């Protein structure tokens, strides 16, 4: 077990004990939080450690604690995101909301009441995880000045991510039509800030790096994050649910204004594709939507954006001498794309990711 995993286990155990001491039933809520941390790729804490070590850091224990905090922050956002999207399954199994809703149904609650309980559990669990995240940073063992800088980074990431999530939901209302730049800006806020910029910058701060280096790592992180989110958008339509654990129709059903779909609105295929947006789809209908997104060039457009952002991020990281590469994480995601779907990644973007 890595130092970061050990730190995360301690953090979860402490919070579990505190929850159980408060109320045994409340302890069940934290059990679902702990379960939600399982199965992740742990690339966020790996970025903290990589940046810290590459920049000559001498605080490995603090880096492990902050890495654990970043991973728990991700868990908090995932829990809340599932509530926002109304999803009850994550990584192929019941999430926090799904667990409590299912248990309520089994006890005799109505479907509406069970769903309401599930939503409440998800909101509360995410709140608890967020609070534990900040506590972990504050007690990571770094000098007070460093802790202050770290807390500023986490605070900024929280605000940016919340802004991106709210924009994502607002855009899904289709009160206006998003442009590709607007959609990309939303994705940068929603994912890049906390998943890539934050861990890279936190590692640099722990290593005592100058502000200019911390800022440049933020730029690299934002580009990596956009690439990662774009791959996730592809998975949201072309992914194999048996491998990703996520629906391949939820983005279409929710009318998400992702760059994939925003680009599609500008193509001749959009009138036909629009019939498959905003509702549940059968397998045959999903297959037709995938064909249209491929024929329109929208899938290829997103793959090229992935490539461009990866290249830009690599240039910054090479300039700073930080041997950090999100390619393994991105390659793992691309491997989950449905091989049976049309035009499986084979162009420059896919080659870049697989390198």
What is the full DSSP assignment across 56-112?
T---HHHHHHHHHHHHHHHHHHHHHHHHHHT--EETTEE-HHHHHHHHHHHTT--HH
**pTM, rounded to two decimals:** 0.86
Mean pLDDT of 88-114: 92
Mean pLDDT of 70-91: 91
95 pLDDT band (50/70/90 cuts)?
very high
Residue 90 backbone phi and psi in degrees, to 5:
-145, 130
Given a cut of 50, whether residue 348 has pLDDT beyond it is: no
Mean pLDDT of 239-256: 80
The per-residue pLDDT for 341 is: 44
Given a cut of 90, whether residue 213 has pLDDT beyond it is: yes
Residue 239's SS3 state is: strand
351 pLDDT band (50/70/90 cuts)?
very low
Mean pLDDT of 265-282: 94
**Token couple for 310:** 């990866």
Given a cut of 70, whether residue 182 has pLDDT beyond it is: yes
């Amino acid at each position: 077990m890595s130092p970061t995993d050990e730190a995360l286990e301690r953090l979860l155990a402490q919070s579990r004990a505190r929850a159980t001491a408060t109320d045994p039933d409340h302890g069940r809520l934290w059990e679902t939080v702990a379960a939600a941390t399982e199965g992740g790729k742990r690339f966020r804490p790996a970025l903290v450690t990589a940046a810290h070590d590459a920049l000559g850091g001498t605080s490995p224990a603090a880096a492990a604690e902050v890495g654990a905090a970043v991973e728990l922050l991700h868990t908090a956002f995932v829990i809340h995101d599932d509530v926002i999207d109304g999803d009850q399954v994550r990584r192929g199994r019941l999430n926090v909301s799904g667990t409590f809703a299912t248990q309520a149904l089994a006890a005799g609650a109505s479907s509406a009441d069970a769903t309401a309980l599930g939503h409440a559990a998800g909101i509360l669990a995410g709140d608890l995880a967020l609070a534990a995240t900040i506590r972990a940073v504050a007690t990571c063992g770094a000098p007070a000045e460093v802790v202050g800088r770290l807390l500023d980074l986490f605070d900024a990431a929280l605000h940016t991510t919340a802004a991106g999530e709210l924009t994502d939901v607002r855009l899904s209302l289709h009160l206006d039509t998003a442009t590709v730049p607007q959609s990309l800006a939303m994705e940068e806020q929603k994912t890049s800030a906390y998943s890539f910029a934050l861990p890279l910058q936190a590692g640099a701060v722990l290593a005592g790096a100058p502000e200019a280096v911390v800022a440049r790592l933020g730029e690299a992180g934002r580009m990596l994050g956009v690439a990662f989110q774009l791959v996730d958008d592809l998975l949201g339509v072309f992914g194999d649910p048996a491998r990703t654990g996520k629906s391949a129709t939820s983005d279409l059903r929710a009318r998400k204004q992702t760059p994939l779909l925003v680009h599609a609105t500008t193509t001749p295929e959009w009138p036909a594709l629009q019939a498959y947006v905003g509702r549940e789809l059968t397998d045959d209908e999903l297959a037709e939507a995938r064909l249209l997104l491929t024929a329109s060039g929208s899938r290829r457009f997103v793959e090229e954006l992935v490539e461009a952002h990866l290249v830009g991020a690599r240039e910054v990281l090479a300039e700073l001498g930080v041997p950090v590469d999100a390619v393994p994480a991105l390659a793992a995601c691309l491997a989950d794309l449905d091989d049976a779907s049309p035009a499986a990644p084979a162009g420059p973007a896919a080659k870049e990711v697989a390198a």
